[in-house]
Structure 1
Amino acid sequence: MPSSVPASLNGWWCDTNTEYAFVGFSYEVTACQSSSQLKSDFANIRKKFHGRYVRMYGACDRDGFYDDVVEAAWQAGIGVHALIWFGFDGGEIWKTRRDSLVNSLSSNPKAPFVTRVVQFGSEPMYDSVLNVQDLASQVTQLKAKLAPLGIPVTISELAYGYQKNNGAEPVMEAIDMIDAHILPFFAQDASTAAASWPIVTRDIEWFVSNGHGKKIYLSQNGWPSLSYPGVEPNSPLAVADVQNEKDYYNLLDSMCNYFKSLPAGGIGWFAHIYSDTQEPGYGIYGTDGKLKFPFKPQTSC
């Protein structure tokens, strides 16, 4: 990163047409990680795995937390897919989180230079937290607030979240890019990760066909290594263990040329999630701080 904050975003970000294959990790922040922890993890994502981005997941409502995220990302030379988290309990706290994030993005001079996009919710349509028209309106309003900062807006959502709302065309039109959830473990026809490619491409092809040519990232994307209440398969054949988690990422990595071939410069995928300390079973790192399996995915091919 430069020694001082640039005056403009012109020419700052890589063209999204160059972004495909592995791009980074989802990173769960309910623990409200310390500034030093964020700096250590983000630097590791950049240096060890060559990640371009960290995709926020969950929420930390500590004052100044996103400023800590910005500083850690700045020091690591990594971008952030920020998130306004609705949670699972209803209520209006998302409005406070939205306003807090906008304030941080507006007041921190480094924020626009690490915040690649703001996600207005994670599976907001699947969870029915807002109706389609209201969600599209919120996205449009947020875009207007962030336009002077050059920060685009999206939502992070399952194909089914759109499909259950007849395609949710107002939302699809409103968002600037597509952050898609690909979680084949939960499919009705799931079995093993190694056999999940038809499930993966089924959802990808829906986004490609209905996404108006917009850039697509697989933002919440993985296969759990253990099953527990809330992370249970919908198929008796689906297997949650470390071997299947490993096989899933090996499968994605082996399909680099497929991801590269898709519209808008191809599809980039995140690994969900960085560590089992953040969300049990999904981490690349175990609770012991060690890699659960070798992980060196391609960032280009």
Structure 2
Amino acid sequence: MRTPLALLFLSLSIVVAVWWWLATPVALTRAPIDHAAKLECVSYAPFRNDQTPHDPTLIVGPEQIAEDLAELAKVSKCIRTYSIDNGLDKVPELASRVGLKVLLGVWLGRDRAKNAQLCDIAVSLVKNHPDTVAALIVGSEVLLRGDMTVGDLRQTIQSVKPRVDVPVTYADVWEFWMRYREVGADVDFVTAHFLPYWEDVPPRAEEAAAHVDDIRKQVVAAFPGKEILIGETGWPSQGRMRDGALASRVNQARFISEILERARRDKFRVNLFEAYDEPWKRRWEGTVGGYWGLFDGVERKLKYPAGVAISNYPFWKLQMAGGLLLCICVFAVAMFMPKRRPASPALASWSAVTVSATVGGVLLGISFDKMFHESYGLGGWLLQGFLLVTAVTAPLLSTYALMSGRALPSFVEVLGPPKGLTPLFMTNMLGITLIATTLIATQSALSLIFDARWRDFPFAALTMAVVPFWALAFLNSSKSGKRPLSEAVFAGLFALAAVYVVLNEGFENWQAMWTGATYLLLGSTLWRARMPATA
């Protein structure tokens, strides 16, 4: 009994130590948001929950917009809008009541008649609110999307500019400003977007502010005599990695803090992207698309209040407690099972239990966090929920089988057992959990092969499930029987997926590396499967 208790203590200690390290708060030299030094400007869209600008019938109520603007007025001097549809034409009037300036945006598209109509409305809003509308932004990333030619865009800007008494600009990513420099002749200042996370080769968060500043200086040199407004810049707080660019709370706060400090020091204007998280974007851009806000999109609360240290896991104590409980449960199963086994388990078995319990204890809280932030729609919640269930049950059922001397069942034993072979209930449950894990892993692997840009990496929950399966297959594998075709096919798929994901995502992406390693581990587990002796 000494060995199991000693290993349990070791496992619990590791879980506590890892969570203490993961949750270590970061104190930045400059608070991302400081009420004493308001932001120059921030992008604003009012859409909440299931609201989306793609719904042409949606009109966001003025009371909803007014509620948001009252909060934004506490932290910013100005807001930038992108459209005057969906009730956003009320923004200038509502902003004037709380002392906010507005960079009023007109959303241009392929429909020329609609573009002309929107420009007319925008001109009217500028004239009706001259003290509130600080500038008019005619189009945003319309060249990037390919919705207009550069000639049509210039003609539209030229038709609007003489009709208003405020500066007129156009907004697009910095690469397109460098490509279409002739547009600079039509605007009063250049509004360029710098989103380092979305660069073709994204920098790490620690280097992102310097990267943006370096590119800004290139744009300044390309447009002498024109002010360069950073029209969008920011960093996501949740979502997948791209190369070495990690979306996290700490990295978002760090980037905002550093770019604002550079703006203060070098005296250039920055419009942060964006005010509120926008849940609707997750449907089109994956998890990462919905988490760029300074305020969360549900409770509308500031993510990083001044004076509060920032952690990637603000609820880490609850997450750690859940992991410790799972760890204890795994050891409880292990310590109970030897009573039904003629020989005492070897040290290798106890080591496998320790690894499974520790991995589960560390990753359970991360898996819950990922499920909460990465689940979108009913299908997403069901998929993430099933994955988490397998992640929790796998170490418990694998430990039961390991300590009772049973092997990991093959698919055929569960789905179509041969005559005379009726698997035990617990063995059946273990096999069902393995099949569920395999199917979910297959879905994620195919997604990362064919639709990788928006897909998250299921490394945490998948590792929780796969490690105990692998340990059981390695220690209690059957030495006889043929290798089942189904397991061999899945093993080959996971091997190919692991190689592709790592090569496609790059070696700096530790989430991809981890996920690829988990695919290999699951593949090697399935490769060790054998048909039952009576088959």
Q: Offset of 1:295 from its aligned partner?
A: 5.5
Give the structure 2 partner of residue 80 of structure 1: 102
Map Cα deviations across residues 206-238 of structure 1 (whole Å, 9 max, x no partner): 2211223222221211111233xxxx76x4222
Q: Offset of 1:38 from its aligned partner?
A: 2.5
Counterpart-to-counterpart distance in 2, 1:22 and 1:55: 12
In 2 relative to 1, CA 59–245 (structure 1 residues): closer, same or farther, beyond 3 Å? farther
Structure 1 segment 191-270 matched on structure 2, within 5 A: 191-227=203-239, 235-260=242-267, 267-270=268-271
- Of 77, 85, 99 in structure 2, the residue corresponding to residue 52 of structure 1 is 77
Counterpart-to-counterpart distance in 2, 1:295 and 1:155: 33
Q: Offset of 1:134 from its aligned partner?
A: 2.4
Greater RCO, 1 or 2 (C-alpha within 8 Å, sep 6+): 1
Map Cα deviations across residues 252-292 of structure 1 (whole Å, 9 max, x no partner): 133244432xxxxxx11122111114652011111222222
Give the structure 2 partner of residue 123 of structure 1: 141
Q: Offset of 1:185 from its aligned partner?
A: 0.5
The one-letter amino acid paired with 1:212 is P
Give the structure 1 partner of residue 21 of structure 2: none
Partner of 1:255, secondary structure, is helix
Mark the runs of 5 or more structure 2 residues left unpaired by the alignment. 1-36, 47-52, 282-289, 308-535
The one-letter amino acid paired with 1:34 is G
Give the structure 1 partner of residue 126 of structure 2: 105
Maintained 8 Å contact 1:259/1:268: no
In 2 relative to 1, CA 191–82 (structure 1 residues): closer, same or farther, beyond 3 Å? same
What is the percent sequence identity of the aligned residues?
22
Partner of 1:125, secondary structure, is helix
In 2 relative to 1, CA 208–226 (structure 1 residues): closer, same or farther, beyond 3 Å? same
Give the structure 1 partner of residue 321 of structure 2: none
TM-score (structure 1 length as normaliser)? 0.74
Structure 1 segment 1-301 matched on structure 2, within 5 A: 22-29=39-46, 30=53, 32-46=59-73, 48-49=74-75, 51-62=76-87, 65-66=88-89, 68-86=90-108, 90-92=110-112, 93-106=114-127, 108=128, 111-146=129-164, 150-163=165-178, 165=179, 168-227=180-239, 235-260=242-267, 267-277=268-278, 280-286=290-296, 287-294=298-305
Counterpart-to-counterpart distance in 2, 1:139 and 1:223: 30
Counterpart-to-counterpart distance in 1, 2:231 and 2:203: 22
Between Structure 1 and Structure 2, the one with more helix by share is: 2
The alignment's C-alpha RMSD in Å is 2.5
The one-letter amino acid paired with 1:290 is K
Maintained 8 Å contact 2:106/2:119: yes
Maintained 8 Å contact 1:133/1:171: no
Maintained 8 Å contact 2:102/2:132: yes
Between Structure 1 and Structure 2, the one with more strand by share is: 1
Q: Offset of 1:194 from its aligned partner?
A: 1.7
Map Cα deviations across residues 31-85 of structure 1 (whole Å, 9 max, x no partner): 7432223233223222x21x221100355244xx42x212211111121101111
The one-letter amino acid paired with 2:111 is G
Counterpart-to-counterpart distance in 2, 1:104 and 1:196: 37
Q: How many residues align?
A: 250
Partner of 1:248, secondary structure, is helix
Map Cα deviations across residues 157-185 of structure 1 (whole Å, 9 max, x no partner): 1111123x3xx233101101121211001
Maintained 8 Å contact 2:263/2:270: no
Mark the runs of 5 or more structure 1 residues left unpaired by the alignment. 1-19, 261-266, 297-301
In 2 relative to 1, CA 295–132 (structure 1 residues): closer, same or farther, beyond 3 Å? farther
Partner of 2:277, secondary structure, is coil
Counterpart-to-counterpart distance in 1, 2:226 and 2:80: 18
In 2 relative to 1, CA 44–276 (structure 1 residues): closer, same or farther, beyond 3 Å? same
Maintained 8 Å contact 1:83/1:121: yes
Counterpart-to-counterpart distance in 1, 2:66 and 2:301: 18
In 2 relative to 1, CA 219–21 (structure 1 residues): closer, same or farther, beyond 3 Å? farther
Task: Please tell me whether Structure 1 or Structure 2 has the larger radius of gyration of its CA atoms.
Answer: 2
Which segment drifts farther, 181-190 or 191-200? 191-200
In 2 relative to 1, CA 223–295 (structure 1 residues): closer, same or farther, beyond 3 Å? farther
TM-score (structure 2 length as normaliser)? 0.43
